[in-house]
Structure formats: structure tokens, C-alpha cells
Amino acid sequence: MASKTYMIIEADSDGDSYEIHKELQKAKESFEERKKSNTFWGEGTIYLIEVKDKKFGFGSRGDMFGAEVIESHTFEE
């Protein structure tokens, strides 16, 4: 059985940050902590995803490819 990879992506107009996890529970805990801390200066979105392919990311319209979005949260000014 192949191991799964989970990521937290903080997408911000000033730059993105990424965090990698092998366990879903730990990734969810970190996602919830990041939601509470709100490190964004303005608008931004935080995603918890499961990586499904070696190549993944966001398309031109913000759609996710190569991964499944488990949960997301948008911060607004």
C-alpha cells in the first residue's frame, strides 16, 4: 500500500507557504491551528489537500488538479 501525502497550502497574494504531512489527523490539527492564527495581512485561503499525482497545483481559474481538496477556509479583510 502506497503512503498518502497531505499538504496544507496557505495561498496569499504576497506569497504561498506549504506544509507536508503523512498522517491525515496531524494535517487536520495543523490546518485548524493555522485557521485560528490567521497569518494573512488581508485576503487569503488555506487549503488541506490530499496529493493524488506527482504533478499537482492550481489551474488558471483557481481549480485544483492532481490533488483533492479536503477542506479550505478563506480569510477576508
Where in the chain are the domains? 5-75
Amino acid at 49: I
Higher pLDDT, 40 or 19: 19
**Residue 76 pLDDT grade (very low, low, confident, very high; cuts 50, 70, 90):** confident
Q: Kindly write down the DSSP assignment for every residue of 11-72, as one continuous string.
A: EETT--EEEEES-HHHHHHHHHHHHHH---SS-EEEEEEEE-SSS-EE-TTS-EESEEEEEE
Any residues with CB less than 8 A from the CB of 43 and at least 6 apart, and which? 12, 13, 74, 75, 76, 77
**What tens digit of pLDDT does each residue of 35-64 get?**
888 666 667 889 999 999 999 999 988 889
Single pTM value for the model = 0.86
**Cα–Cα nearest to 23, from 47, 43, 3:** 3
Mean pLDDT check: name the lowest of 1-5, 7-11, 26-30, 65-69.
Answer: 1-5
